Amino acid sequence: MNDAFHRKINYLRISVTDRCNLRCVYCMPEEGVELINHEEILSLEEIIRVINSAVMAGIRKIRFTGGEPLVRKGISSLIERVNDIPEIDDIALTTNGILLPIMAAELRKAGLRRVNISLDTLVPEKFRRITRGGRLSDAWLGVETALEAGFDPVKINTVVIRGFNEEEVYDFAELTTKMPLNVRFIELMPIGVSDLRDRKSFVSTTELIKILQNRHELVPEKVAGNGPAKSYRIPGAMGTIGFISPISNHFCADCNRLRLTAEGQLRPCLQSPQEIDLKTPLREGASPEQLADVIRFAISSKPEKHNMEQAGWAGNRRWMTQIGG
């Protein structure tokens, strides 16, 4: 359905867990976030009920995220069930890749066709630092396994952070010349509270494109399903390079999404603290149509745009892992 600003909202991002097997510095505080009790997290059955009602409200595309969606028990069977809902024409998943070596085959079998893997550095020691203890070799094996398992496309999401990885953007770009990967550089967002999400760590897309053009010709390219990313290809490369600019060029005018947190709250906008409670009606036996009405209300509550650039660097205290990235 359309929201109050004539945008067609057809995309639901579902956080299936607030738990994670990594602790990325811009996503979680060092001590970890206070985890939600298991019974507060929506069950797989409840998630299916939400999706069936979301379909009634016009949702056609689902993305599973978190926390780390692959640590959620039953994620493959959830995907399999969503794959059987005829109105859903696209299922995607965002993962840190660590569990892909053991799960890629079952995810493919469940009907998942594409995957986004978050990877911020290609240097093992830096990977350990940014994820607070992760091993790059595990994540990289995840990327290789995803390609071998036939996921198409395999997208790599790289958050660019000044002083940490802006020098590495050439290496990421060069990956696309040898491998059929869609590398997407994402602007750091002021969500959560950490030194790294300070304004000085921010690198804009405009600056990044200039850095890359020092070494490579970038030919604009249309990539289907690349959402708000601006896409390019190095001539002759197997893969593409995209830029996602939530801050410098926010894509709110084209926003088509709604979010569901692991504890069953609908978030009309990533940045706005407004949440609409779907769990209570779910647990009080609401009918599919009643749930669809709550979802329609959330869609109609979407603000025109976020104001992260003005308010965000000081304010948003929810971490990405709690909202669902």
The binding site for ligand SF4 (CB under 6 A) comprises 20, 22-24, 27-28, 66-68, 96, 118, 320-321
Closer to ligand SF4 by CB, 68 or 275: give it: 68
Bond into 153 cis (ω within 30): yes
* DSSP label at residue 185: E
Residue pair 17/262 in contact by the 8 Å Cβ criterion: yes
Give me the 85-104 binding string for ligand SAM, x by CB under 6 A, dash otherwise: ---------xxx--------
Instruction: Answer yes or no: are the C-beta atoms of 306 and 257 closer than 8 Å.
Output: no
Q: Is 65 in the site for ligand SAM (CB under 6 A)?
A: yes
Partner residues linked to 14 by β-bridges: 64, 260
Nearer to ligand SF4, 264 or 325 (CB): 325
Site track 147-186 with ligand SAM (rule: CB under 6 A), x = hit: ----------x-x--------------------------x
Give least dist CB 316 to ligand SAM, A: 9
Least distance from ligand SAM to the Cβ atom of residue 297, Å: 26
Which among 8, 90, 36, 40 has a CA at the least distance from the CA of 282? 40
Which structure tokens are listed for 103? 């799960």
Please identify, among the stretches 106-114, 187-195, 199-207, 287-295, the one whose residues bind ligand SAM according to the rule CB under 6 A. 187-195
CB neighbours of 310 closer than 8 A, spacing ≥ 6?
A: none
Greatest distance between any 2 Cα atoms in the chain:
59
State the Cα–Cα distance between residues 20 and 230, nearest whole angstrom: 29
Chosen from ligand SAM, ligand SF4, none, partner binding at 197 (C-beta under 5 to 8 Å by type)? ligand SAM
**Helix segments in 71-190, DSSP class H:** 75-83, 100-109, 124-130, 136-148, 169-178
Question: Which pair of structure tokens corresponds to residue 274?
Answer: 């407004």
In the list 9, 12, 16, 20, the residue contacting ligand SAM (rule: CB under 6 A) is 20
Picked from ligand SAM, ligand SF4, none, the partner binding residue 23 (CB below 5 to 8 A depending on kind) is ligand SF4
Of ligand SF4, ligand SAM, none, which one sits near residue 242, judging by CB under 5 to 8 A according to partner kind? none
Do 250 and 305 touch, CB atoms closer than 8 A?
A: yes
From the list ligand SAM, ligand SF4, none, which binds 261 (C-beta under 5 to 8 Å, kind-based)? Answer: none
- Give 237's contacts (C-beta < 8 A, 6+ positions apart): 176, 177
| Residue number, 9 or 92, with CB nearest to ligand SAM | 92
188 binds, among ligand SF4, ligand SAM, none (CB under 5 to 8 A by kind): ligand SAM
Backbone phi, then psi, for 107, in 5-degree steps?
Answer: -70, -40
Site residues for ligand SAM per CB under 6 A: 20, 26-27, 65-66, 68, 94-96, 118, 157, 159, 186, 188-189, 191, 197, 320-321, 325
